[in-house]
Amino acid sequence: MPLTRLQNDKEAQINNDEVKNTSTMYFLRQRDIQINMAIMVYIWCVCSINSSILSYSVVDLPGDIYKNTFGSTLAEITATICATFIYANLQAEKTFVISFCLAIFGGFLVVTSGEIYADLMPAFVILAKLGLSSANLASQIAQVELFPTLFCATSLGICSFASNLATIVAPYLA
């Protein structure tokens, strides 16, 4: 199901009687917001868990740990720049598709070719990290467009709380 972009006109149509009903539950009762919230919590959790697992695996990669850590950091910086431009031109859904495809391709290379091409394993992990970091940044940017202004900070908090809770599992999966 695609993310539903809420229009700012909807926010402008709130009359004085409804302003009193702008509690968190008022927004969570709306079907579009419920769907967007479920999708965003899922995306945040996937990005957070997998980024943590990849961060744990940087230590075990063949080669110098400092070079691997530098490559991982460089991937995050590159992801920040790339995700910003991709998001500005293609919007949220396409940015998520491109980012997760990069992450899946990097993960596929790690699983299938990691042992055969051990020297390229850091590059495969960095490719996966690039995709996850792009998706993570895009999810934070998309939050502002997907939720009304009065609910945006609350939605960021809910997604952050859920992803941090889910990240507790990451050391056991790594």
More confident residue, 115 or 13: 115
pLDDT at 162: 94
Q: What is the mean pLDDT of residues 7-22?
A: 52
Which tens digits make up the pLDDT trace of 15-37?
444 555 667 788 888 888 889 99
pTM: 0.79
What confidence category does residue 4 fall into, taking pLDDT thresholds of 50, 70 and 90? low
Q: What is the mean pLDDT of residues 89-112?
A: 90
pLDDT at 105: 94
Every domain of the chain and the residues it spans: 26-173
| CATH architecture for segment(s) 26-173 | Up-down Bundle (1.20)
Which DSSP string corresponds to the chain? -PPPPPPHHHHHT--HHHHTT-SHHHHHTSHHHHHHHHHHHHHHHHHHHHHHHHHHHGGGSSS-HHHHHHHHHHHHHHHHHHHHHHHHHHHHHHHHHHHHHHHHHHHHHHHHHTTTTGGGHHHHHHHHHHHHHHHHHHHHHHHHHHS-HHHHHHHHHHHHHHHHHHHTTHHHH-
Which tens digits make up the pLDDT trace of 111-157?
888 778 878 888 888 888 899 999 999 998 888 888 888 888 899 99
